[in-house]
């Protein structure tokens, strides 16, 4: 991850901002893996939670972009597959 010269705070900010207006929280575990949680800003319902994301793979802006794209696809899949569960 340090190849880009980003600290964990900067990486987290990039990912969290990518999901606005939803509320996204990234946390860094002691093993340097990320957990990304996306919640609906109105209901507070968790729409996506992915754990164990290796920061080793995030060694370029392209890799970060691919991760965000994958997470957005997962989020959209959850929204279309489980719409009633997410509606609360």
The pLDDT tens digits for 20-47 are: 999 999 999 999 999 999 999 999 999 9
pLDDT at 4: 65
Range of the domain at 79: 2-87
Higher-scoring residue by pLDDT: 82, 14: 14
Is the separation of the CB atoms in 60 and 43 below 8 Å?
Answer: no
pLDDT at 84: 59
pLDDT at 63: 95
pLDDT at 83: 65
Cis before 21? omega within 30? yes
Q: What's the domain count of the chain?
A: 1
Query: Please, what's the largest Cα pairwise distance for the chain?
Result: 42
Give yes or no for residue 1 having a pLDDT over 70. no
The DSSP H or E segment spanning 61 is helix 61-81
């Amino acid at each position: 991850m340090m190849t880009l010269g980003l600290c964990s705070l900067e990486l987290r900010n990039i990912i969290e901002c990518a999901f606005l207006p939803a509320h996204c929280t990234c946390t860094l575990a002691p093993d340097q893996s990320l957990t990304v949680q996306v919640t609906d800003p109105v209901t507070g319902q968790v729409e996506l939670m992915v754990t164990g994301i290796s920061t080793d793979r995030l060694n370029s802006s392209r890799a970060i972009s691919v991760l965000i794209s994958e997470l957005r696809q997962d989020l959209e899949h959850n929204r279309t597959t489980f719409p009633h569960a997410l509606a609360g």
